[in-house]
Chains A and B, each alone.
Chain A
Amino acid sequence: MFTRRLAVMVLAASAALTGAAQAADYPTRPVQYIVPFGAGGAAELASRVVSEGFTEILGQPFVIENRPGANGIIGTVFGAKAAPDGYTLLQANGATFSVNPLLYKAATYDPTKDFTPIGLVARQPYVIAVSAGLPVNNLAELIALAKQKNGALTYATGSTSHQLAGELFQKEAGIKLTHVPYNATNLALPDVISGRVDLIVTAAYTAVPQLGKIRPIAATSAERAKLLPDVPTFKELGYPNFVVEGWFGVSAPAGLPPEVVKTLNTALNKHLQQPKVKETFDKAGFEVTPSTPEEFAGFIKHELETGKSVVEAAGIEPQ
């Protein structure tokens, strides 16, 4: 008796799963939102705000599913392979889309082909900060010191997108630094504070509570970070090509019907315009950046190309 009911349920469910969603009714059941990182961290806030927004505006529960592992590769690969019916979405971010395909052979996905971009959510400015004990007060002095030490200066990173900023810094300034990777920024902080490591590339947001122990030298974004308005950007300091930011966006497997993309994008941007949402992101050091799907696609391409040139210049081979 029970098995018969179970069989009917399974048949019904599989019938519902096959076939693309009807655009007019989308969504008609809960949607899975894959976040390729573990619970906690910057990804958490961004994904939570987005899923709550979708749930509120589109009326169906959008459920976060954390699939961590391999610097985000595992979750992203899973997202790429899912059915493009609009019921599985993926959080895209700088690390998984712009950096991992260049550094890891295991990242078998192509960020420009295997996904349907839906929209950008927010960008996060990074800063390059030095340990308080290092005798440099501005970028020019830092570059001079780096040239003098010829590779002996160390810089810490908590994620691969920080590393990209660090490599770009070396390329643009013509210097060599020694990279010290950490699994998370919070593990790097004691070493930078104590001066064991000289520099750190981190989000402006993380640097603020540590001001006094570390000294931000320059911001890597196009405009000054709202949380650190006194820190000049690389662009201002004479490096107009140097723009790197952490970013989060929403994407889906390739082949999503355009009507569904439009529905999601409109809902996303509507949610991002709300002052309450802007405030939440501002407090966390993010800058909300609504976009159209085409703009997002262009953005991803641009980020990937920046990454490629940096990785090639640095001579890093994919592992």
Chain B
Amino acid sequence: MKRVRLLALAAVLLLGACAPRGTVTDPIQLSFWGMGREGEVVAQLIPEFERRNPGIRVEVQQIPWTAAHEKLLTAYVGEATPDVAQLGNTWVPEFAAIDAIAPLDSLIARSPQVSPAAFFPGIWATNEIGSTVYGLPWYVDTRVIFYRSDLLRAAGYDSMPTTWAGFRAALEAMRERMGPRQYPLLMPIDEWPPPVILGMQAGAPLLRDGGRYGGFEGPRFRRAFDFYLGLYRDSLAPAIASAEVANLYQEFARGNIAMYITGPWNIGEFGRRLPPGLQDRWMTAPLPGPAGPGVSTAGGSSLVIFRGSRHPEAAWKLIEYLSEPAQQLEFYRLTGDLPTLRAAWADTTLANNRYARAFREQLERVEPTPKVPEWEEIATRVYQAAEAAARGGVSAGDALAALDRDVDRMLEKRRWMLAQHAARPGAGR
């Protein structure tokens, strides 16, 4: 906070210093809402932007993640939206559906710098609703396996298997060398990504009929779900919630767990919080799939322009600037967030980070989750079904049938909206 204020002060002073040189008009005031750590850090990238664009001033407001969704919606209702904001990319469909954010297609087409091909296709796709683009991917968050390489090697594997069967066999081999309350894999029961990713890997359309109905009872998701439940049933992973893991890093260091499917922020955390002696005994690996390397989720955040913005051109300039490879790289240095541009990955900082390599490989195989506004609620419901089947004594078939029933109900309004749109002549999108 203090740093932000200092920077703001510096910016004001800087502008004050510029003023005598004679700016013709008042500078454009842009507001930018960033979330959590990103919102804190992005202020450090702004002075360079303001130096290049003397007519634009950017005011960064930091919002905690937990309050972000509610605050953005409230701002939209109260017509007090920022010009530019960071938006979790699973929120893009929702904010596009309520017409809160502006389409960027024409701006992208005119831009000399931004080109869709420069981004990883899976992460670019998260911002495309229908054929309209609503945001530029800012950083990417996908899941890979973090594992104890020494324990895997002791079980007879030099590298992580790339198929489900091989992965399971490796878990079983590790299990044999472990104590009674140690598990080869940590896969908290209240995290939705594992069952969803496995489903996507099996080629399951999570929703059917253009996101009108749940598709979890289909044979492909069922296959993934059975594989998922089998890991708990055979004690390869403990059926516990993430809150029940008091200190993940300690458990990992003690060898009570040997693998964990998680995201890029843990590269830094593992480096900081594991004891020094363990530093060359852990590694990251891309996810295995049913028959060869599997896909993972394309999470992360996008940069969007709100429709209420009075300076969309200036707002676009800011987004263009933040989407330069150099800025993405600087942002990676500040936060550890992974760049969405291929060009940024060519830089030595990232290319030489051995833990980031698995992410680089995985980024070629990421897919967006279904792009419907209801997705986050559906995802929560997915893990409830998984939890009910894994430790609630409900059969897999019953859990999935109940899941589809609930998802169908959640999507009822969407079906009605789509029908309304179809009935109304000349309705776009």
Chains A and B belong together in one complex: no
**B residues bordering A, Cβ < 8 Å?**
none
